[in-house]
Chain A
Amino acid sequence: MTSRATASTDGVVASGTQAVIRAVGLTKVYGRVRAVDGVSFEIAHGESFGLLGPNGAGKSTTMRIIGGTLQRTGGVMTVAGLDPAESGPEVRAHLGVVPQEDNLDEELSVRDNLIMYGRYFGLPYAYLRPKADELLEFAQLAEWAKAKVGDLSGGMKRRLTIARSLVNEPQVLLLDEPTTGLDPQARHVLWDRLFRLKEAGVTLVVTTHFMDEAEQLCDRLVVMDHGRIMAEGTPRELIRGYSTREVLEVRFGAEHNAVAAERLADVGSRLEVLPDRLLIYADDGDAALRQVAARGLSPITSLVRRSSLEDVFLRLTGRSLID
């Protein structure tokens, strides 16, 4: 653990605590593509940090650079005070990694997957045997211990991958889209477990597409797009900064939306026209709806809801499809 005070002058300053992960001007270039383009952030010990962004935003690349399994092109990266490019094995000894795609060893049994993975950290069998059973319990896979990995369902494989990442009792857990492919029950169980690990002092770094997951798990997050950080803050700060308190959704039918939009241009603080509906961003959605009615417009349907991270996300990264 680093004892270096990180009085950082550039990048994002984590609120007063020691940074366990620190990136300054991080860059990764593949040929002409700048997958990560000058990204800076700090993650404090015990914090739960989220990387949000559409596909291809550079989230997974950033994660792999943190673990030293991908060489960066430029910038500074330290994990627990060490440079992962120079001290990959030492850095990864602190880390638990859950990659986006499960990379379990299909040639080993479920239990051996946990044990061999622990051996890669140089952990002794005397520690690993009971630990493997504990982790199987944790992942609710105890009765599958001797099964081949190929026989597990997608959700079971995901649970095993997550259990495997805990074998070295990591200080920092890197979770790349941890709940993709899990059913709602499994997601909630996992969120609960991750929350408890965080309470036990584990630092979490999570990438996700799911805004509810980010709101649930992350103390602080950055929104990435095209390899850059678009915004940074707590979920609440982001919503306050990039959206309004409420959103009014109204539909007039595909042909009439545009006409209605012209007449509603000054309602609320921002208006967005989608092919099927209008979004009116306002602090008071009901008041905005009353204004719509006052102009003699009667939408087919209307809905007032709280603004969410999803609104922030779409505002920052656009609605067009990536890739």
Chain B
Amino acid sequence: MSTLARPRGRRLAGLYGRNTRAVLERGFKVIKNQNWVVMLSGFFEPVFYLLAMGLGLGGLVGSVPGPGGHPIAYTAYIAPALLAASAMNGAVYDSTWNVFFKLRFAKIYHAMLQTSLGPMDIALGEITMALFRGLLYAVGFMVVMLVMGLVTSRWAVLMIPVAVLIALGFASLGMAVTSFLKSFQQMDIVALTLLPMFLFSSTLFPISVFPAAIQWLVMALPLWHGIELMRDLAVGHLAPATAWHALYFVVLSVLGIWFTAVRLRALFLR
């Protein structure tokens, strides 16, 4: 009599319907219907931060040491960091809160899973939607940076794909984390862990203000690599470290996707 023991190579058997496209179509239809205004509004958050901290606080701070130790204006220092942080925030929000809500309350995925879609289609579709949103915001933010004269290198154009890469890393990881969550309360705790990462990862001030031990801790966290990578590209300061930061995110994304794939059953088939 057959049991449920699955051969290792067939982990994804029965989980993928090869129709991610339908999930995307639904996403775009929803955006088209009503949510595009809300969606656009998300673009303003990093811009407000940039204006307030850059122009307001920048007047008090003056200049700070940027990539390679060259002093740069405070606004130019935080702008790439804010782009990285907003890519993170958007991706995490989409892959935790949004997914959890659709899973538990709107029951969107229940309906999808009654059809020939599998959990993998949904996961890929939702991550892709998150990346699309990340891409839109990144382009918008780049335009703001251009207008404010904060783009000083041709390499800066790479900040857009890098924003998408950062979003991929966090979205795939976020979705795996969501598979462990059971309540909105726990969701709050996820948000609470992002706050220190946002504030400590050299977003608004260099990590050199911290003691060495804390510096090492921050340097292990993903956002710091995203921010450093963005900053290098913004001023065109390319060094071996730049490549390491990028590699960090590639590895993070691969791990995140693998982790999500492993957790698909726990996430959707419970």
| A271 → B minimal CB distance (Å) | 44
On whether A24 and B1 interact (CB within 8 A), knowing A99-B110, A108-B29, A120-B115, the answer reads yes
- Number of A-B contacts defined by CB within 8 Å: 110
Residues of B within 8 A of A103 (CB): 107-108, 110-111
Residues of A within 8 A of B268 (CB): 69
Which of A85, A107, A164 sits near B30, CB closer than 8 Å?
A107
Residues of B within 8 A of A165 (CB): 114
* Nearest residue, chain B, Cβ from A78: B2
| B141 → A minimal CB distance (Å) | 27
In Å, the complex CA distance between A105 and B114 comes to 13
- Say whether A104 contacts B4, CB under 8 Å: no
Residue total for A at the interface (Cβ-Cβ under 8 A): 42
Interface members, chain B 235-270 (any A CB < 8 Å): 265, 268-270
* Nearest residue, chain A, Cβ from B268: A69
Cβ of A231 under 8 Å from chain B: no
Residues of B within 8 A of A117 (CB): 111, 115
Which of B1, B23, B108, B114 sits near A92, CB closer than 8 Å?
B114
| B126 → A minimal CB distance (Å) | 14
Residues of B within 8 A of A109 (CB): 33
Q: What 0/1 readout, one digit per residue, does chain B (26-60) give for beta carbons within 8 Å of chain A?
A: 10011001110000000000000000000000000
Dominant SS among interface residues on chain A: loop
- Say whether B22 contacts A85, CB under 8 Å: no
Cβ of A8 under 8 Å from chain B: no
Residues of B within 8 A of A95 (CB): 114
- Say whether A89 contacts B16, CB under 8 Å: yes
In Å, the complex CA distance between A268 and B73 comes to 98
Residues of A within 8 A of B3 (CB): 74
Interface size class of B (residues with CB under 8 A): 35 or more
| B179 → A minimal CB distance (Å) | 14
Cβ of B14 under 8 Å from chain A: yes
On whether A69 and B114 interact (CB within 8 A), knowing A85-B4, A122-B19, the answer reads yes
- Say whether B19 contacts A108, CB under 8 Å: no
- Say whether A116 contacts B26, CB under 8 Å: yes
Cβ of A121 under 8 Å from chain B: yes
- Say whether B30 contacts A108, CB under 8 Å: yes
Residues of B within 8 A of A90 (CB): 116
* Nearest residue, chain B, Cβ from A70: B269
| B138 → A minimal CB distance (Å) | 25
| B114 → A minimal CB distance (Å) | 4
Cβ of A97 under 8 Å from chain B: yes
Interface members, chain A 11-28 (any B CB < 8 Å): 24-25
Cβ of A158 under 8 Å from chain B: no
- Say whether A116 contacts B25, CB under 8 Å: yes
Cβ of B71 under 8 Å from chain A: no
Cβ of A58 under 8 Å from chain B: no
Which of B107, B108, B113 sits near A101, CB closer than 8 Å?
B107
Which of B18, B22, B35, B114 sits near A99, CB closer than 8 Å?
B114
In Å, the complex CA distance between A121 and B17 comes to 9
* Nearest residue, chain B, Cβ from A168: B115
In Å, the complex CA distance between A74 and B1 comes to 11
In Å, the complex CA distance between A137 and B2 comes to 45
In Å, the complex CA distance between A117 and B25 comes to 11
Cβ of B189 under 8 Å from chain A: no
A residues lining the B interface (CB < 8 Å): 24-25, 67-74, 76, 83-90, 92-93, 95, 97, 99, 101, 103-109, 112, 116-117, 119-122, 164-165, 168
Contacts A89-B117, A105-B111, A107-B30 supplied; 16 other A-B pairs, CB < 8 Å = A69-B114, A70-B270, A83-B2, A85-B14, A88-B113, A89-B14, A89-B18, A89-B116, A90-B116, A105-B106, A107-B34, A112-B29, A120-B22, A120-B23, A120-B116, A120-B117
